[in-house]
């Protein structure tokens, strides 16, 4: 064994995540579970069949024959990878077709496709927020937004969750001669609540700030799939609309949409875009096929809201706390970390797959089970979810 001088950077790894290893040894570790089958609404883990009530596959399009065939055909035509960045050899006419249709769909002049949704926020925020600028975010914004702020050279400020008055307070405290970008989730990924965009737009305009909305959990859901800005009728007041393809679009990647000159700037300045290989043909084709289905079959958007409403009302009638959810994301707020884990395990053993969410992903003492629903769930499956929550909730002393 080689002796090393000084402090070993790997030393931190030896005793890290002790609780995770203990949970694994005791059989209640809830993460990185390898599924052997995934039919969309149901999955299989080591021969154990479960209703999937923890996926972002909101419209159920991952198993749609049209989406699968589009992906296969693109692979047959272009191969498995573009093997380069969009900047050099990795652009396909299909990428540009997807960008044109996305921009039209969300009501903006132009769009730009990235290889992952996380990269969209990293690249867009870091490209626009320079050394003398400010980026202002909701305290509950997604980690990709926070990391985009960290990568940017400007200064990050936070305001209270979904609080227009506190946003105004923060913006008023900033120098008038500095650039300001406000970034919020349209639908928040843990609580399923919606940002009050109609109140944010005039506040941003009053203080000369631009507004960017992360619509990862909204496009494909609200306003016939067009997202939060369209839901409130404030598309023109929102400067940038971002979305991932790993939710309703049944693929992988993401996009940013806005004024053509702004998108052109991001295209030439966003390092995560320039220095990453482009979206593979299969994912690009899948996203394009999904977009066209969303556009042509808005009833899917209505159905997923109906399904979530059925479960939300059922859980509330049992006495569960589902927070401020108005979307397919329905949290079951428990509070205590270990009780949340034990409740997850009981639900899992009973045949329902949900996601336990603990701090720092949520504030302290607000641990929850994140449940989410699809347009393709049938009533029998939804009723079984409610019935399982009723049984487990009583067993765990939650209701």
**Residue given tokens 């009583």 in the structure block:** 394
Per-residue model confidence as pLDDT tens digits over 168-219: 999 999 999 999 999 999 999 999 999 999 999 999 999 999 999 999 999 9
Predicted structure pTM score: 0.95
CATH number, position 338: 3.90.1150.10
Residue 136's DSSP bridge partners are 157, 182
How big is the CA angle at 339 (ends 338 and 344), to the nearest 5 degrees? 100
Half-sphere exposure of 276 (CA within 13 A, CB side): 20
Tokens of 69: 């065939």
**Contact indicator for 232, 91 with CB cutoff of 8 Å:** no
- Sheet of 352-353, strand order: 37-38, 42-45, 48-52, 352-353
* 202 & 290 share domain: yes
Count of structural domains within the chain: 2
Domain boundary among the residues 240, 267, 296 is at: 296
Q: Flag whether pLDDT at 240 surpasses 70.
A: yes
Tally of helices (H runs) and strands (E runs) in the chain? 15, 14
* 238 & 322 share domain: no
Q: What is the DSSP secondary-structure string of 227-269?
A: -HHHHHT-GGG--EEEEESSSTTSSS-EEEEE-HHHHHHHHHH
Residue 211's DSSP bridge partners are 182
Q: What is the DSSP secondary-structure string of 72-95?
A: HHHHHHH-S---SBTTTT---HHH
Domain assignment present for 3: no
pLDDT of residue 1: 64
Domain boundary among the residues 296, 330, 361 is at: 296
* 291 & 159 share domain: yes
Cα 204 from Cα 65, distance rounded (Å): 43
Which helix or strand (DSSP H or E) is residue 176 part of? none
Expressed as residue numbers, the domain containing 373 is 23-52+298-395
Domain assignment present for 10: no
**Residue given tokens 């059922």 in the structure block:** 314
Tokens of 189: 């990924």
Per-residue model confidence as pLDDT tens digits over 313-334: 999 999 999 999 999 999 999 9
Compute the average pLDDT of residues 303-309.
Answer: 97
pLDDT of residue 279: 97
Q: Nearest CA to 35 among 374, 390, 348, 378?
A: 348
* 252 & 324 share domain: no
Domain assignment present for 9: no
Which helix or strand (DSSP H or E) is residue 149 part of? helix 143-151
Helix axes 164-172, 197-206, angle to 10 degrees: 10
Region of poorest pLDDT, from 14-28, 51-65, 215-229, 267-281? 14-28
Pairing relation of β-strands 48-52 and 42-45? antiparallel
Domain assignment present for 12: no
CATH number, position 248: 3.40.640.10
Q: Flag whether pLDDT at 270 surpasses 70.
A: yes
- Which residues have C-beta within 8 Å of that of residue 222, sequence separation ≥ 6? 186, 187, 194, 228, 230, 231, 301, 327
* 353 & 377 share domain: yes
Helix axes 299-318, 379-395, angle to 10 degrees: 30
Domain assignment present for 94: yes
Domain assignment present for 17: no
Domain assignment present for 43: yes
* 113 & 212 share domain: yes
**Residues, the chain:** 399
When computed from its CA atoms, the radius of gyration of the chain, rounded to whole angstroms, is: 22
**Cα 275 to Cα 96, 103, 272, distances in angstroms:** 18, 23, 6
Per-residue model confidence as pLDDT tens digits over 335-381: 999 999 999 999 999 999 999 999 988 999 999 999 999 999 999 99
Per-residue model confidence as pLDDT tens digits over 71-84: 999 999 999 999 99
Residue 54's DSSP bridge partners are 372
Q: Average pLDDT, whole number, for the chain? A: 96
Per-residue model confidence as pLDDT tens digits over 132-161: 999 999 999 999 999 999 999 999 999 999
Q: Flag whether pLDDT at 19 surpasses 90.
A: no
pLDDT classification of 287: cutoffs 50, 70, 90: very high
* 379 & 327 share domain: yes
Per-residue model confidence as pLDDT tens digits over 114-128: 999 999 999 999 999
Hey, is 303 helix, strand or coil? helix
**Residue given tokens 């049984």 in the structure block:** 391
pLDDT classification of 4: cutoffs 50, 70, 90: confident
* 130 & 254 share domain: yes
Q: Flag whether pLDDT at 15 surpasses 90.
A: no
* 366 & 337 share domain: yes
Cα 394 from Cα 399, distance rounded (Å): 5
Domain assignment present for 15: no
* 216 & 103 share domain: yes
Domain boundary among the residues 296, 325, 340 is at: 296
* 289 & 304 share domain: no
Pairing relation of β-strands 180-185 and 134-138? parallel
Hey, is 216 helix, strand or coil? coil
* 79 & 201 share domain: yes
Compute the average pLDDT of residues 2-19.
Answer: 87
Tokens of 382: 């939804």
């Amino acid at each position: 064994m080689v002796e090393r001088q000084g402090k070993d950077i790997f030393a931190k790894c030896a005793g890290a995540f002790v609780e995770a290893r203990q949970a694994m040894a005791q059989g209640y570790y809830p993460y990185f579970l390898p599924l052997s089958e995934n039919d969309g609404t149901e999955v299989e883990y080591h021969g154990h069949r479960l209703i999937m009530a923890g996926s972002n596959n909101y419209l159920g399009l991952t198993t749609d024959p049209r989406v699968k065939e589009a992906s296969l055909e693109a692979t047959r035509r272009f191969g498995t990878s573009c093997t380069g960045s969009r900047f050099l050899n990795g652009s396909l006419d299909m990428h540009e077709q997807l960008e044109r249709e996305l921009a039209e769909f969300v009501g903006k002049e132009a769009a730009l496709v990235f290889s992952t949704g996380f990269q969209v926020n990293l690249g867009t925020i870091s490209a626009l927020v320079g050394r003398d600028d400010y980026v202002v975010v909701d305290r509950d914004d997604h980690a990709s937004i926070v990391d985009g702020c960290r990568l940017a050279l400007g200064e990050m400020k936070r305001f209270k969750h979904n609080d227009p008055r506190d946003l105004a307070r923060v913006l008023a405290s900033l120098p008038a001669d500095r650039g300001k970008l406000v970034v919020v989730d349209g639908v928040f990924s843990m609580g399923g609540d919606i940002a009050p965009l109609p109140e944010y737009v005039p506040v941003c305009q009053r203080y000369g700030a631009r507004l960017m909305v992360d619509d990862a959990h909204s496009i494909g859901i609200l306003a016939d799939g067009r997202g939060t800005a369209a839901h409130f009728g404030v598309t023109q007041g929102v400067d940038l609309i971002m979305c991932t393809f790993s939710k309703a679009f049944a693929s992988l990647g993401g996009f940013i949409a806005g004024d053509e000159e702004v998108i052109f700037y991001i295209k030439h300045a966003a390092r995560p875009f320039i220095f990453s290989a482009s979206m593979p043909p299969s994912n690009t084709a899948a996203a394009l096929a999904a977009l066209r289905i969303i556009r042509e079959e808005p009833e899917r958007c209505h159905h997923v809201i109906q399904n979530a409403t059925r479960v939300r009302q059922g859980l509330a009638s049992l006495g569960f706390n589902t927070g401020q959810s108005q979307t397919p994301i329905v949290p079951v707020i428990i509070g205590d970390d270990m009780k949340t884990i034990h409740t997850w395990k009981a639900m899992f053993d009973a045949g329902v797959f949900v996601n336990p969410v603990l701090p720092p992903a949520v504030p302290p003492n607000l641990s929850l089970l994140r449940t989410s629903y699809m347009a393709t769930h049938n009533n029998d499956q939804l009723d079984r979810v409610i019935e399982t929550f009723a049984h487990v909730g009583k067993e765990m002393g939650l209701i």
